[in-house]
Amino acid sequence: MKKIVIWLAVVAFIVVSLAGALVADSEPRFINGKLTREFELKTPTFTSFNEFIIADLKGFFKEVNIKPVYTGVLSPNVSLALSVVKGDNDLFGSGHPTNIAIARKAGFPIKIVLHSMVDHPDNNKLHMTWLIRDDGKIKSPADLVGKKIAVGSLGGCVELLTAEFLRQNKLPKNKIEIVVMKDQLQEQALRQGLIDVAVVHPPFNIKAQNAGGVKILTTSWDIGDKAGDATIGGLAVRAFSDEFIKKHPDVIKAYIVADLKAQHWINNNYDEALKIASEYLKIPLEDMAGNIYPNQFWIKNEQIQWWINTAYKNKLAGFDKPGEIKAKDIYTNALNPYYTKELPLPKYK
């Protein structure tokens, strides 16, 4: 009887071990710059220029065995951070350091794994444009007192850089009304006089300017320049939930390889990238605008810290205790195969 019990225990141990091995083997591994098996990566459907679109359409994701799965345009009532933490989406593919900082502070464990775009002075590569009507009512920043400025959302780039713009021009925030309004609605609201300033991302800036009757009050490039770094006002980031990072570290590596390849390809083939995005998004090429990317391969601490410092300086909601949020706590380079030297630095053309 004892021999039977021992034998059954041995068999059970072997079965459990084999089951564990099978589960482990089901996770794709990152070997020689790509995954050993295809992995379906969920992301919201993009409605404007994004390097993810280019990485998909140029086959860069396919090269590393990632298959993008588009889950649809995110509902205005659902935050991207919530969808990523719940697992409805894997990639936090649209946002900036302050978005991640606020999300983590609110209890959504998300971490930055890669930089994305930066700002550029060219009109069709700008991060954001502050547009006013071309009727002479607003001639300078001083004329904004008592006026309405539209922002796409709170807690992100528009609120931060608008606050910095007001601070640079010594304008009291409590004398200016901030109206939350989606970018695609702002042009018409501006023309109708419902708002006095539209703060829009590409391609909405180009579309409005092509239609005439509006002019530029300022840009994210100019605001960043006066704050010490012209490019930094456009810094976007890409992030995943802590759970996804722990469960799929090799997928993160493959994602970084493909996304960086897309970033550098766009820099070297910008006009073609605009054409590809124009056709994909069904936006006329003359109204199309995109983004430019930094010549780097991993996150730089000082870039993240600039956003945090600027948020504290302008007393944005959630940034009420200086020093509480630190750059090093919201990003990691540990899974970047170029930073860890798992892969040599590529030479893109």
More confident residue, 74 or 336: 336
Residues 4-56 pLDDT 10s: 545 555 444 544 444 444 444 589 999 999 999 999 999 999 999 999 999 99
Residue 59 within any structural domain of the chain: yes
Range of the domain at 103: 30-118+235-329
Identify the domain boundary among 232, 267, 300.
232
d(CA 342, CA 334) in angstroms, rounded, equals 11
Residues 86-133 pLDDT 10s: 999 999 999 999 999 999 999 999 999 999 999 999 999 999 999 999
Same domain as 304, residue 172:
no
Number of domains in the chain: 2
pLDDT of 143 higher than 80: yes
d(CA 238, CA 92) in angstroms, rounded, equals 6
More confident residue, 7 or 182: 182
Residue 24 within any structural domain of the chain: no
Residue 21 within any structural domain of the chain: no
Residue 263 — pLDDT band, cuts 50, 70, 90? very high
pLDDT of 69 higher than 60: yes
Identify the domain boundary among 176, 201, 232.
232
pLDDT of 166 higher than 60: yes
d(CA 310, CA 297) in angstroms, rounded, equals 24
Write down the pLDDT at residue 114.
98
Same domain as 206, residue 253:
no
Q: What is the pTM of this model?
A: 0.89
Residue 289 zone, left/alpha/beta (φ > 0; ψ -120 to 50; rest): beta
More confident residue, 139 or 20: 139
d(CA 150, CA 164) in angstroms, rounded, equals 15
The pLDDT mean for the chain works out to 91
Same domain as 247, residue 206:
no
Write down the pLDDT at residue 11.
47
Is-contact 310 164, C-beta < 8 A? yes
Same domain as 245, residue 105:
yes
State the average pLDDT over residues 266-275: 97
Percent of the chain past pLDDT 70, that is, above it, reads 92
Is-contact 184 204, C-beta < 8 A? yes
Phi, psi angles (nearest 5°) of residue 187: -60, -50
Write down the pLDDT at residue 153.
85
State the average pLDDT over residues 190-217: 95
Residue among 21, 90, 73, 15 nearest 255 (CA): 90
| Cis before 203 (ω within 30) | yes
pLDDT of 77 higher than 70: no
More confident residue, 1 or 344: 344
d(CA 224, CA 53) in angstroms, rounded, equals 27
Same domain as 260, residue 242:
yes
Residue 70 within any structural domain of the chain: yes
Write down the pLDDT at residue 136.
76
Same domain as 136, residue 110:
no
